[in-house]
C-alpha cells in the first residue's frame, strides 16, 4: 500500500510538472532570442503590429524572432524590397525564402516537359530573383518544378527537371544564392512529393545552389517519419519550414511533436532559418499570443 501511495504521488508530481510545461505557462513577450531561427511571414502579427510588414518585422524582433520569409517578395516593388532588406540589416535579422515565380508557372506542367518555353521562363525568373535577393539580403529561393507530364515516363521527366535546374543553378551560384526545391502535398499531380526523390535531384544537379526545402507539414502528410527522413537527406537540406498537421497551424495544434523535432534539428547543428509557413489556429491578438507561447514551449528543449 505504501509503495502504491508513493507511486501515485510520483505520478501526480509528474502530471503536475507536465501541466506546468504546457504552452499556456510560457511568457508571451519574453523578448529573448529562440534557440532556433524561426522566420515569421507577413500577416502573422498584424493584430499587434498593424498591416504594414515593416512594423510586423520590428514587432517580431521585439518578442524574440530573428528571421522572416516572404513568398511573394518578387511581387513587391523594388522600393519595398530594399526597405525590407534595410530593416532586417538594422535589426540583425535574416531573410528566409521567397518564391521564384512569374505567372504561377510552378503550379503548371513545366520543367518536367523539357519544353524550351518553360526553361526560358525559368531563366528569366532566376535572373530577376538575383536582383530581388540583392535588395532584400536573401540567400534562399523556393523552386517547385511543376506537375507531372503524363505523356512522358517518370525517368524522362526526371532528366528534364535535372537539366533545367542545372541551368538555374548556374545563374544563382555565382551570386552565392541557393534555390531550395520543395516537395509538396497539395495535390498528387505535383512532380516533387518526397524527400528522397528531392535528394536524388539535388545530387544529380550537383551544385551548392540547389538544395532541399524540407517543409515538415508537407512531409508529415506525404511520408511521416520526420526525424529519420531528415537524417537520410540532411546533407542536401538547405532550409526547413514548419506547420503542424492537420490544419497547418503553429506547433502544438496537431499531431506532430515539434519540441522533439526542433531538438533533433538543433542537435544536428542547423544554423539556418525555419520558416513559419502556417496559419494561427486562433484569430486576433489572443491567437498571436498563443502562437508565440507555442513556440516558446516547443523551443524549450535544452
Residue 266 CB-density burial (10 A; 0-12 exposed, 13-18 middle, 19+ buried): middle
Q: Could you read off the pLDDT of 64-111 as tens digits, one per residue?
A: 999 999 999 999 999 999 999 999 999 999 999 999 976 544 556 689
Q: Could you read off the pLDDT of 23-32 as tens digits, one per residue?
A: 999 988 789 9
Cell of 7: 507511486
Give the pLDDT score at 18.
Answer: 43
Series of mean pLDDT values for 10-residue runs along the chain (302 residues): 46 42 87 97 98 98 98 96 98 97 61 94 94 98 93 97 98 98 93 97 98 98 98 98 98 98 98 98 97 97 96
Query: Cis peptide leading into 246, omega within 30 of 0?
Result: yes
- Nearest CA among 158, 145, 151, 143 for reference residue 118: 145
Instruction: Report which DSSP code applies to 112.
Output: G
Give the pLDDT score at 101.
Answer: 75
CATH (residue range 30-299): 3.20.20.150
> Which sequence spans correspond to the domains of the chain?
30-299
Give the pLDDT score at 163.
Answer: 98
Amino acid at each position: 500500500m505504501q509503495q502504491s501511495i508513493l507511486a501515485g504521488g510520483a505520478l501526480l508530481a509528474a502530471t503536475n510538472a507536465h501541466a506546468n510545461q504546457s504552452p499556456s505557462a510560457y511568457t508571451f513577450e519574453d523578448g529573448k532570442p529562440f534557440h532556433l531561427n524561426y522566420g515569421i511571414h507577413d500577416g502573422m502579427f498584424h493584430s499587434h503590429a498593424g498591416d504594414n510588414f515593416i512594423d510586423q518585422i520590428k514587432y517580431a524582433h521585439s518578442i524574440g524572432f530573428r528571421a522572416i520569409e516572404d513568398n511573394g517578395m518578387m511581387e513587391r516593388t523594388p522600393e519595398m524590397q530594399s526597405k525590407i532588406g534595410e530593416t532586417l540589416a538594422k535589426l540583425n535579422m535574416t531573410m528566409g525564402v521567397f518564391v521564384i515565380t512569374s505567372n504561377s508557372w510552378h503550379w503548371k506542367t513545366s520543367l518536367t516537359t523539357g519544353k524550351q518555353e518553360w526553361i526560358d521562363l525559368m531563366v528569366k525568373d532566376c535572373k530577376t530573383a538575383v536582383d530581388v535577393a540583392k535588395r532584400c539580403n536573401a540567400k534562399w529561393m523556393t523552386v517547385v518544378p511543376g506537375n507531372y507530364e503524363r505523356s512522358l515516363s517518370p525517368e524522362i521527366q526526371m532528366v528534364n527537371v535535372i537539366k533545367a535546374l542545372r541551368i538555374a543553378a548556374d545563374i544563382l551560384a555565382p551570386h552565392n544564392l541557393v534555390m531550395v526545391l520543395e516537395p509538396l502535398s497539395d495535390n498528387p499531380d505535383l512532380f516533387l512529393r518526397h524527400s528522397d526523390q528531392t535528394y536524388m535531384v539535388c545530387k544529380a544537379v550537383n551544385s551548392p545552389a540547389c538544395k532541399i526545402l524540407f517543409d515538415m507539414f508537407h512531409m508529415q502528410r506525404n511520408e511521416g517519419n520526420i526525424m529519420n527522413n531528415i537524417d537520410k537527406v540532411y546533407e542536401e537540406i538547405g532550409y526547413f519550414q514548419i506547420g503542424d498537421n492537420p490544419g497547418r497551424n503553429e506547433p502544438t495544434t496537431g499531431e506532430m511533436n515539434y519540441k522533439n523535432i526542433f531538438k533533433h534539428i538543433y542537435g544536428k547543428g542547423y544554423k539556418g532559418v525555419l520558416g513559419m509557413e502556417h496559419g494561427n489556429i486562433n484569430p486576433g491578438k489572443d491567437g498571436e499570443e498563443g502562437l508565440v507561447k507555442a513556440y516558446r514551449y516547443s523551443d524549450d528543449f535544452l
